[in-house]
Amino acid sequence: MQIGIIGAGIAGIASAIRLASQGHQVDVFEANTYAGGKLSDFKQGDYRFDAGPSLFTMPMYVDELFKIAGENIKDYFEYTRLKTVCNYFWEDGTSLHAYADEEKFAKELQDQLGVAPNVLHQMLQDSRRKYESSGNIFLEYSLHKASTWLKPSVAKAMMLAPTMDLFTSMNKVHERILKHPKLVQLFNRFATYNGSNPYRAPGILSIIPHFEHHFGAYIPKGGMVEITNSLVRLAKKKGVRFHFNTKVDRIIVEKRIAKGLLINNETQYFDRIISNMDAFFTYKKLLPDQKHPKRQLSQPKSTSALIFYWGIKKEFPQLDLHNILFSDDYKTEFEHLDAGKIYEDPTVYINITSKYCPEDAPSGAENWFTMINVPFNAGQNWDQLIRDARQSIVKKINRILKININQSIENESILDPRTIESRTSSHLGALYGTSSNNPMAAFLRHPNFSFRLKHLYFCGGSVHPGGGIPLCLLSAKIVSEILK
């Protein structure tokens, strides 16, 4: 078959590899001059920055693409497992190293917080149980196909639903098991991995720590962008044709069948169409005359991000690749986000790839990807919000790390919800499409295919199973299985 894919985000690339490996001819059309969407990079003076996703976990979904294509991943892509997953800091001077080794992490919690080792083991075992009982099933299959619900494994998972904490919050689960406020806060922050609020998101999302503390956290050689670069090389090896700087203007529909793409006033016909574009804009811009699935498209949006990319002309040995400086009032921070505001004491995430990729910054310097969670774009005065947030972030870094970071910032650029939307076509700048605060959110996400239009499929962070690199890769897997 001839297959046309709209968008060269990570899900679009993965879909292309899978389908080309099945013997189809695949063309990918990308409006930008580069692949990867959010998973791209840029240079700023002598510093290199990954533009978007900074955490690499569940690498087996990348490995799988090379196996399917019959290629040796080592010829394309290398990555290293982190010994320290993240460093955590609080205002009262407490700090923690979240070691990849579970026993070592448990001892760290005992030494720094006085928490017995069995508490961490119990939490991670609960996370693992939920993932293995049901999480992996519902992430790897379409929730909108009858065939999924006929699988014995799904029937078994449904019988276990009462034990999955679907109707209590992540925070309640963590308070029940972990009890210590700082440890509860540490595990609550995993809700931000899909743009959710831990005080509202269902407790089944406590499976997320399993991704990081069981499957591990990794750093690709050359930075996160190498995930994109290696997969593009693999796709091309399989015969996929990429068309960059090529905007799709319309999906051509005839008798409720997606037939082709209108590009530069010329129609190109395909047997199947896959959109890796945000589902909202797929309908609004490419299918303006078709009936839109209003229920799915009107679901509440996830949070967004405000990122300061700083070239720092100094090194800070107390920091690692991933670092979190926590707010003193986490619940109030999320209440502000739900209200479309930024809290005056935000939790700050600092990612520094030069710790592992020294070529990303000059000698004696570091590249700081400094981020806070912010609401999606609802018309706020972002220029003022950014000025205020920058001041709060700098003050917080200086207080907790006991430094004067302003003296070390050599250059700066900023990414906010407005530019996230304009560069990546993410509706309202929401990083993960719809939020997961509703227990039924997974079922309310747009499916990986159109119910109304034949031969039209969807992949990427705005559709099932959700945002983030692993889930985007799984959306590509689901689409390829449906097509096959």
Closest CA to 395 of 151, 141, 133, 91: 91
Instruction: Indicate whether 432 belongs to any domain.
Output: no
Tell whether 331 and 418 lie within a shared domain. Answer: yes
Tell whether 276 and 325 lie within a shared domain. Answer: no
- pTM across the whole model: 0.96
Tell whether 268 and 161 lie within a shared domain. Answer: no
Tell whether 214 and 226 lie within a shared domain. Answer: no
| H/E stretch holding 422 | helix 417-424
Instruction: Indicate whether 431 belongs to any domain.
Output: no
Instruction: Indicate whether 466 belongs to any domain.
Output: yes
Instruction: Indicate whether 314 belongs to any domain.
Output: yes
DSSP category for residue 434: B
Query: How many Å apart are CA 25 and CA 27, to the nearest integer?
Result: 7
Domain hosting 288: range is 2-80+222-298+438-483
For 446, the 3-state DSSP assignment is strand
* Rg, the chain, Cα only: 22
Tell whether 64 and 153 lie within a shared domain. Answer: no
What pLDDT score was predicted for residue 152?
Answer: 83
Tell whether 100 and 212 lie within a shared domain. Answer: yes
Strands 84-89, 322-325: pairing kind? parallel
Closest CA to 241 of 70, 4, 475, 22: 4
Query: How many Å apart are CA 308 and CA 414, to the nearest integer?
Result: 5
Instruction: Indicate whether 428 belongs to any domain.
Output: no
Tell whether 141 and 70 lie within a shared domain. Answer: no
State the CATH number of the domain containing residue 159: 3.90.660
Instruction: Indicate whether 16 belongs to any domain.
Output: yes
Tell whether 294 and 337 lie within a shared domain. Answer: no
Tell whether 258 and 307 lie within a shared domain. Answer: no
Query: How many Å apart are CA 32 and CA 232, to the nearest integer?
Result: 15
**How many domains, the chain?**
2
Q: What is the pLDDT of residues 9-41, one digit of tens each?
A: 999 999 999 999 999 999 999 999 999 999 999
Are the beta carbons of 411 and 45 closer than 8 angstroms? yes
Per-residue tokens: 105: 């992490």
Query: How many Å apart are CA 132 and CA 213, to the nearest integer?
Result: 14
Are the beta carbons of 193 and 324 closer than 8 angstroms? no
Tell whether 59 and 182 lie within a shared domain. Answer: no
Tell whether 60 and 91 lie within a shared domain. Answer: no
Spell out a b/e string for 449-477, using b for 16 or more CB atoms within 10 Å of the CB, else e: bbeebebbbbbbbbbbbbbbbbbbbbbbb
Tell whether 313 and 404 lie within a shared domain. Answer: yes
The values of phi and psi at residue 206, to 5°, are -70, 5
State the CATH number of the domain containing residue 51: 3.50.50.60
pLDDT tens by residue, the chain, 484 residues: 999 999 999 999 999 999 999 999 999 999 999 999 999 999 999 999 999 999 999 999 999 999 999 999 999 999 999 999 999 999 999 999 999 999 999 999 999 999 999 999 999 999 999 999 877 777 888 888 888 878 787 777 778 778 889 899 999 999 999 999 999 999 999 999 999 999 999 999 999 999 999 999 999 999 999 999 999 999 999 999 999 999 999 999 999 999 999 999 999 999 999 999 999 999 999 999 999 999 889 899 999 999 999 999 999 999 999 999 999 999 999 999 999 999 999 999 999 999 999 999 999 999 999 999 999 999 999 999 999 999 999 999 999 999 999 999 999 999 999 999 999 999 999 999 998 898 878 888 999 999 999 999 999 999 999 999 999 999 999 999 999 8
CA angle 465, 468, 471 (to 5 degrees): 35
Closest CA to 14 of 478, 420, 483, 476: 476
Instruction: Indicate whether 94 belongs to any domain.
Output: yes
For 392, the 3-state DSSP assignment is helix
What pLDDT score was predicted for residue 468?
Answer: 93
Asked which of 423, 450, 471 is the last residue of a domain, the reply is: 423
Beta strand ranges found along 15-137 (DSSP E): 25-29, 41-44, 47-50, 56-57, 79-81, 84-89, 95-99
Per-residue tokens: 252: 């051509």
For 29, the 3-state DSSP assignment is strand
Instruction: Indicate whether 433 belongs to any domain.
Output: no
